[in-house]
Amino acid sequence: MLQGKRAIVTGSNSGIGLGVAVELAKAGADVVLNSFTDRDEDHALAANLAASHGIKARYIAADMSNGADCRALVEKAGGCDILVNNAGIQHVAGIEEFPVEKWDAILAINLSSAFHTIAAALPGMRERGWGRIVNIASAHGLTASPYKSAYVAAKHGIVGLTKTAALECAGQGITANAICPGYVLTPLVEAQIPDQMKKTGKDRETTIREVMLDRQPSKQFATVEQVGGTTVFLCSPAADQITGTTISVDGGWTAL
């Protein structure tokens, strides 16, 4: 379905980004993987993806906390038809104790990077009259939790940026939408489990069920394949008139 389309997925050497890249490759898109590292294994990921799915794939190192790097990623890729803004980090602390450098980094990577990549990608999309911008927001783009001020602010921000991009591109064959996952078991979430276990004093499984998935009524993690599949759907003709909106993949979290 996506043969001949080039997709850039930021922050895609692990977790949801890699899962999205795999689903796009399965649908026939050429894929540009990215993270801030430049290791052999990063480039090997792209080579494996190309070999497994018969598509073109490259890995381009670029630091999404740096606006010039974000724009250079799109330029080095030669532009894109599908832009998935996925790179993200998390830090958990009360507002008074929240380290300023963490606040700045979260806002830069989780929000400002998307502004820069969208700005760099749009001229080519407009020329070709087709484009798909998919921002990986979060249930925290629609609702808040304590101790995640920067993350919640950035994710609410990216939902606003999504709506604005959609309006600026309306009727031009370019859509912009945000996917709002609940908890997906990836390194980002995995890294939060030991902290949560310390707080509860309970074992891993109980902590996952009672704390991590407390707000996820399905009591099941979403999967990277489901987020990837939703991205592919947003790139399909069925989604031509879906723009400026959010799609939750959260086991009912935001229905509560």
Residues interacting with ligand NAD, by CB under 6 A? 11-17, 35-36, 63-65, 86-89, 109-110, 136, 138, 181, 183-184, 186-189
- Minimum CB separation from ligand NAD for residue 183, in Å? 4
151 is catalytic: yes
Nearer to ligand NAD, 6 or 148 (CB): 148
- With beta carbons less than 8 A apart as the criterion, state whether 242 and 225 touch: no
- Minimum CB separation from ligand NAD for residue 87, in Å? 4
- Minimum CB separation from ligand NAD for residue 252, in Å? 14
- The order of strands in the sheet holding 174-181 is 57-61, 30-35, 6-9, 82-85, 131-136, 174-181, 246-249
Half-sphere exposure of 29 (CA within 13 A, CB side): 29
- With beta carbons less than 8 A apart as the criterion, state whether 6 and 32 touch: yes
- Minimum CB separation from ligand NAD for residue 36, in Å? 4
- Minimum CB separation from ligand NAD for residue 176, in Å? 16
- With beta carbons less than 8 A apart as the criterion, state whether 87 and 64 touch: yes
H-state helical runs in 78-191:
100-107, 113-128, 149-169, 187-190
- With beta carbons less than 8 A apart as the criterion, state whether 21 and 46 touch: no
Nearer to ligand NAD, 9 or 169 (CB): 9
59, 147, 151, 183: which one is catalytic?
A: 151
Nearer to ligand NAD, 138 or 226 (CB): 138
Letter string b/e over residues 145-183, b meaning 16 or more CB atoms within 10 A of that residue's CB: eeebbbbbbbbbbbbebbbebbeebeeeebbbbbbbbbb
- With beta carbons less than 8 A apart as the criterion, state whether 95 and 143 touch: no
Euclidean distance between CA atoms 229 and 233, whole angstroms: 6
CB atoms under 10 Å from CB of 130, counted, come to 16
Nearer to ligand NAD, 126 or 254 (CB): 254
Nearer to ligand NAD, 224 or 241 (CB): 224
Task: State the burial class of residue 231 (Cβ atoms within 10 Å of its Cβ: 0-12, 13-18, 19+).
Answer: buried
Nearer to ligand NAD, 188 or 197 (CB): 188
- Minimum CB separation from ligand NAD for residue 241, in Å? 25
Write out the catalytic residue numbers. Answer: 151
